[in-house]
Chains A and B, each alone.
Chain A
Amino acid sequence: MGRSPKLLALGAAFALALSACASGGSSAADSDSGSDEENNNSESTSTSGGSVLADVIANDVVTCGTRDALPGFAVLQADGTHEGFDNDFCRAIAAAVLGDAEKVEFKDLETDDRFTALQSGEVDVLVRNTTWTASRDGSEGATFLAPNFYDGQGMMVAVESNFNSLEDMDGTTVCVASGTTTEGNVSSEFERLGLTVDVLSFENTDLIQEAFQAGRCDGWSSDVSQLAGLRTSFLNGEDSLKILPGVFSKEPLAPAVRDGDSEWAQVVNWAVFATIQAEEFGIDSSNVDGMLESDNPLIQTFLGVEVDGTALDPGLGLPVDANYQVVKQVGNYGEIYEQHIKPLGLERGQNSQWQDGGLLYAPPYR
């Protein structure tokens, strides 16, 4: 296996990027896009192409960065399997690219090493509850894609406390996880409301839990979806802890890939869109086989059914039946949500289809 050719290719890509920048023209990634066809066919030698897609196909596995203990999103089961919302999106990617949702290798990453793992190529894609922000997009060497979950930061307090909104919490102490967007959000929000707050940030969730339980802090702030998940891991948490209504930040949680690989980025993007589009069409894992007989041309195109002897290949580098495999093996967005997020007690809200007033909107598949 050519280690050094890869390095050379990297250097070459970098040189290209430099020259592209110097001429103020198109990006370096564009110069790669002509090689789609070859990459699909070639085997191990294709590493020199530089696209993750080729590597994934060659290795026949998608390496996906998630975490091991976030209820609802990604939980490492006792038998070593991963269950959760984020894990299912990893499976959707594998189903789309390789036609088999089980060809995923999960890597459990910590908050502060997730981007390093992506940069170093340890993982192909990061689906790890990560908020898309400008500075992460800009300076972590990552490219964020279409969000798979729209979240917002909220506040969890003890039921017996008499806090019913943030306005009641003047002069309190709030615990957050460090190295996240949450710590800055809390102080900005309290400042906006004209209140004072003391923010206590910890490296790991265990310590926050200890501190919160011991009454060191009055509130625990994080993304609402995380709070809902964490609440379930407390001793009778549903009854003793409440999440205050309202959110005070935008937290679009999006998959991320390495910078400069637009081919792989498109593949991941369209795997996510497949789940959303399927729900919009009313296709789910139970009726997808029946839907193959549908006479709606849009659905036929989406599922890759041959009409008049041809099926649409949009040229994303995916098999023609990619969408079918995603829906068949993993399910549509609604199914994934029902299975993993609903049990936490979270309603669809922003994460509804656009027709229902939500933010889920897949571009047309044509």
Chain B
Amino acid sequence: MMIWLRKNLFRSVGDSLVTVIAGSLSLYVLFRIVRFVAVTGRWQVVETNLALLVNGAWPTDEIGRLSATIVLLGFLGGVASAVAGLVTSDVDSEPPTLFQKALDLAIRLWPLALIVGLVLLLSTTTGPLLLTVGVVGAVTVGRLLGGLLPGRVRPVVIVVALFGALASIWFMSFGHSWDDWGGILVNFFLAAISISLCFPIGVILALGRRSEFPILRMLSTVFIELFRGVPLIALLLMAKNTLGFFVPQEFTPGAAVRAIVVFVLFTSAYVAEIVRGGLQSVPKGQIEAARANGLTPIPTTFRIVLPQALRNVIPALVGQFISLFKDTTLAGVALGFLDLLEGGQAITQQAEFRGQGLVIETLAFVGLLFWAGSYTMSRESQRLESKLGVGSR
């Protein structure tokens, strides 16, 4: 213990000085934070508006549809994660014990558990509790079932899960029009829809940018650089103000469609660059070997190069999803969604909470929700990265 202290905190006089100053400062900050959370913070505004922050003004009699969809999504997510886990798992290592597994899960998912616990603590009805139990159950069942699937159907399962997810989100919109969605639901929904839709476009653009056809290369490059060179919020504002001019008047698109169009175009440019990196990481020898074995260019691309490239870019794609998830807040401010952030601002203007300076409380809560989501995802992607051994080969 003493040795650790000496080595890590008090190596020299200067070091000790730094430790003392930084230590007292951080203790003070910690004290202020704890006091804010436990004593001075006025959390009534969050408690009252919890539902608004989570699922927006979702009509009460349609809650069943929403819950069913979320449970289904949890199940599909479980299946997909099990299948993905099989793809990446190490064959050599011995299977962990149940206790090890639980501990591992707790370390990995504590931020999510924290916010779910917080929401349950703040909510007054039993609905959220039931939903949580349902989702956890669905994920578990999904994982177990996914593990039992034979290897050959795995790609099919992933595609089915993806379409199932999109279809269930569509099913959800029957209860409550997309444009009126709110809360963290809208952030997650916009991010999920956009990343699924932009993926094929991104792959095509990446192949186009590396193709030997000069015109194709030029078109892809122009598209990618165009969307990477302009701020997202400017694109969203542009969609709000000008998209209506580019479609016949009868089809004036709603806010959700406008947001998705922009996110898909914008993200596909970034995904293209990620996939291009993945394509470059595939050794030239692979292509030469394939050609030597008599494969023509198209099968070489789709059966040899792409599978390896895509496997390598999974962590970067997760990273892109995280930044997309955070960027969906821009749709709130530009297109008027009451997403988590805009909703958080709006609730401080309610008659009973107005003018009391509750912005800090609500933004702290909103920030915690975003943080827990993206921190968990980014750690998972790092784990995946080390598992896949990207960069270490």
Contacts and interface: CB of A to CB of B under 8 A. Distances in A.
A and B touch in the complex (CB under 8 A): yes
Interface of A: 3, 6-7, 10, 110, 112-113, 116, 120-122, 206, 209-210, 213, 233-235
Nearest to B349: A206
B354 A120 contact: no
A112 B336 CA distance: 12
B132 to A, nearest CB: 30
Contacts of B250: 3, 6-7
A120 B252 CA distance: 8
A121 B252 CA distance: 10
Given A120-B244, A206-B346, A206-B349, A235 B355 contact: yes
B317 to A, nearest CB: 34
Interface string B311-355: 000000000000000000000000010000000011001010011
Contacts of A112: 241
Contacts of A7: 248-250
Nearest to A112: B241
Contact of A235 (B241, B346, B354): B354
B351 A233 contact: yes
| Most chain A CB atoms below 10 A, which of B249, B345, B359 | B249
Contacts of B345: 206
A115 to B, nearest CB: 11
B336 A110 contact: yes
Contacts of A10: 249
Nearest to B334: A203
Contacts of A235: 354-355
Contacts of B354: 209, 233-235
22 contacts: A3-B250, A7-B248, A7-B249, A10-B249, A112-B241, A113-B240, A116-B244, A120-B244, A120-B249, A120-B252, A121-B249, A206-B345, A206-B349, A209-B349, A209-B354, A209-B355, A210-B359, A233-B354, A234-B354, A234-B355, A235-B354, A235-B355
A217 B346 CA distance: 21
B355 A122 contact: no
Contacts of B249: 7, 10, 120-121
Interface string B227-271: 000000000000011001000111010000000000000000000
Contacts of A116: 244
A122 B249 CA distance: 10
A210 B248 CA distance: 40
Contacts of B349: 206, 209
Interface pairs A-B: 8 shortest CB-CB: A206-B349, A120-B252, A235-B355, A3-B250, A213-B355, A120-B249, A116-B244, A120-B244
Interface string B66-101: 000000000000000000000000000000000000
